[in-house]
Amino acid sequence: MKRSKTSKAWMREHLADPYVQRANAEGYRARAAYKLMEIDDRDRLLRPGATVVDLGAAPGSWSQVAARRCGGGGRVFALDLLPLDPVPGVDFLQGDFSDDGVLAEFERRLGGDRVDVVLSDMAPNLSGVAAADQARSIMLCELALEFAVHHLRLGGHFLVKAFQGEGFVAFRQEMARHFLVVQARKPKASRARSAEVYLLGSQPRP
């Protein structure tokens, strides 16, 4: 009964959310699109002609933003374990990006090029056990960081969602080992009560 009431309250809040309403009106698959747009408006990550990788892309709102902002000359790759309905201008690869076979197929499609931007808005499936969920979240961040380190060009950018809690400070320090500049971003579209924060790594270290 309690869970049912909580679910109904969440649904009411969700449907009343102005970013949800805006996403529905403007054709974006999730309100998360506006988080990326706000960060990009500030930091200018998604430039015309850029090569972008969206890790954990489903349902695809970040890929939509990247494809629209990078233009016809850009290349946007989306990777996810889950299926993804086609997004115009996006090359989707289903599978675990940390799997050697999936990684090899991605690199084949990339054709030996380097990447301008790696995006990760991934979050684990929540178990309800806070410590376990936080550990899984940090693990996803670490996997995304490893991917970025191996594929970004010098001057590239890595944007990753992380949750403040156990392991967050250590992960930020690990990012600082690989990027000259690491900054935190909390876009307005991110709910104030949420522990999520976006870490932006710029200028990969040689």
Phi-psi bin for 166: left (phi > 0), alpha (psi -120 to 50), beta? Answer: beta
Structural contact between residues 205 and 156, judged by C-beta atoms closer than 8 angstroms: no
Rounded to whole angstroms, what are the CA distances from 112 to 93, 94, 95, 153, 182?
17, 20, 20, 11, 27
Active site residues: 161
Q: Nearest 5°: phi and psi at 105?
A: -65, -40
pLDDT digits (tens, 9 = 90+) for 43-87: 999 999 999 999 999 999 999 999 999 988 999 999 999 999 999
Q: Which fold has domain 31-204?
A: Rossmann fold (3.40.50)
Tokens of 173: 């320090």
Domain ranges of the chain: 31-204
Residue count of the chain, please give it.
Answer: 206
36-53 in b/e burial notation, b at 16+ Cβ within 10 A? bbbbbeeeebbeeebbbb
List, for residues 87-131, the tens digit of each pLDDT value: 999 999 999 999 999 999 999 999 999 999 999 999 988 888 999
76/87 Cα distance (integer angstroms): 10
